[in-house]
Amino acid sequence: MIPSMTIGAALGGFRVGDMLVMLVTFIILMALVKKFAWGPVVNMMQKREEYVANEIEIAEKSRAEAEKSAKEAAEQLKQTKQEAQKMIEDAKNAGKRQEQDIIDSAREEADRIKKSAQEEIRNEKERALQALQDQVSSLSILIASKVIEKEINAQDQEQLINEYIKEVGEER
């Protein structure tokens, strides 16, 4: 053995040749790993990185769309509530108008019935007055005919008037 080829034999006997062979083998192994394993691993890692980045982007878009949809739904709900409130107010106003129309109609009907009743009372009063006038005129004629039949003195005349007044009172 060549003494220069052995370094520190006392330390376990490292041999430079063995080390060089190991170094060359290691470099060749690294070149092979780089060519056959490292490239595909790096490609796979890049694809995985792109996939994760794409998934994050999709998730962000989905979150943004969900927020937008939530805002739209809240706005739609708000608008629906406003429309419902307006419908309720319109219904209340229509009810009040209808109530007032019914009251006005009832008042008009009551006034019409009242006027009709007053007209009927007036007609009945006129008929009663006419009947009374007819009776008075017939009584006057009757009194005049009796007066003519007999000459009466003041006492007889007073008695005759009282009798006719009594007859008129009984006929009513």
Q: What is the pLDDT of residue 49?
A: 94
Say what the pLDDT of residue 132 is.
82
Regions of the chain with pLDDT less than 70? 1-14, 146-152, 170-172
Question: Could you state, in order of their start, the residue ranges of all structural domains in the chain?
Answer: 3-171
| Ramachandran sector of residue 6 (left: φ over 0; alpha: ψ -120 to 50; beta: rest) | beta
Q: Which two tokens stand for residue 168?
A: 């008129």
Task: Tell me the whole-structure pTM to 2 decimals.
Answer: 0.39
Beta bridge partners of 7: 14
Q: Taking the alpha carbons of 89, 94, 95, 97 in that order, is the dihedral positive or negative?
A: positive
The token pair at 27 is 């470099």
Task: Label residue 105 exposed, middle or buried (CB < 10 Å: 0-12, 13-18, 19+).
Answer: exposed
* Alpha carbon distance, N-terminus to C-terminus of the chain: 174
